[in-house]
Amino acid sequence: MAASPAARKRLTREYKAIMENPPPYIQAHPSENNILEWHYIITGPENTPYHGGQYWGTLTFPPNYPFAPPAIRMHTPSGRFQPSSRLCLSISDFHPRSFNPAWEVSTILIGLLSFMTSEEMTTGSVSASEAERKQLAFKSRWWNSTGGGSHIRGEHGAAGKNNIRAGDGGAKFRQEWPELDEENWKWMRENKIDPATGNKVVEPSTAPAPATPCGPQLGLPAGSGHQAHAVVDAVRQQRDAGQSWIFQNKLFLAGAAIFIYVLIARLVGEGVA
């Protein structure tokens, strides 16, 4: 449905105001083809498990805005909201009677951010551990620009641009946030993020391989230095034992050598005579 003149005028004014004075951690703009469809980015605040995360969502305004509230969705998995599900908040279309026409787009998004960083449960919210939310925050840029890793199918036209869920290959995000999409791909390249999984690429170790032994090695267990010394001592004892026998019997050996020499000389002398 087309926006009423009052809604168009109001949303045009609010877009100008949010561009001139954006709320902390928040960016937002209407779709180029439909002023009732707004796209926002919430950057996870410091001191929260969402820190550094890039959370993309939509506000779908009714034609009679500001007399009725928008439907609020967050598409990026966060561990806080079900992706792409309508959120039941006092500022959303779940509670049209409680909506105040004085509330603006910035008011709605600030309220969403405040609810996100709390632990209050409602329709569309989920529970997750702090570690899980931190992991999703780290992978949020990858998810936005690849459609959760479905960009390979998306490149072949498997999903249309109007499909905001993971299967669109990141096409809708790229259409609405081209500059952020470019930054996200640069970030993935610099941080070696696998576009198919969103995980860091583990590179093979560059450490040199251990040197090949040049000969047979003694099979001595590690830490058995005393065993090695025992082997060496045994070899030395055997060597010393052989040397000590020769030393102890050197006189006998010398006498035997002289006797043999004299005997040979006599035999030679008799032969000559």
pLDDT of residue 122: 95
The mean pLDDT value for 117-124 works out to 96
Q: Which residues pair with 57 in a beta bridge?
A: 40, 74
Query: Where does 5-190 sit in CATH, by number?
Result: 3.10.110.10
Query: Nearest Cα to 131, choosing from 186, 79, 76?
Result: 79
Q: Which pLDDT tens digit goes with each residue over 211-262?
A: 555 444 444 344 444 444 444 454 455 555 555 555 556 555 666 666 665 5
Q: Which pLDDT tens digit goes with each residue over 167-224?
A: 788 999 999 999 999 999 999 999 999 999 999 998 776 556 555 554 444 443 444 4
Confidence of residue 125 (pLDDT cuts 50, 70, 90): very high
CB 78 within 8 A of CB 116: yes
Q: Report the SS3 class of residue 56.
A: strand
Catalytic site residues? 88
CB 84 within 8 A of CB 60: no
Cα separation of 70 and 59, whole Å? 6
Of the two residues 216 and 97, the one the predictor is more confident about is 97
CB 56 within 8 A of CB 143: no
Of the two residues 93 and 234, the one the predictor is more confident about is 93
The mean pLDDT value for 39-46 works out to 98
pLDDT of residue 1: 82
pLDDT of residue 49: 98
pLDDT of residue 266: 66
Confidence of residue 88 (pLDDT cuts 50, 70, 90): very high
Percent of the chain with pLDDT over 90: 65
Average model confidence (pLDDT) across the chain: 83
Confidence of residue 157 (pLDDT cuts 50, 70, 90): very low
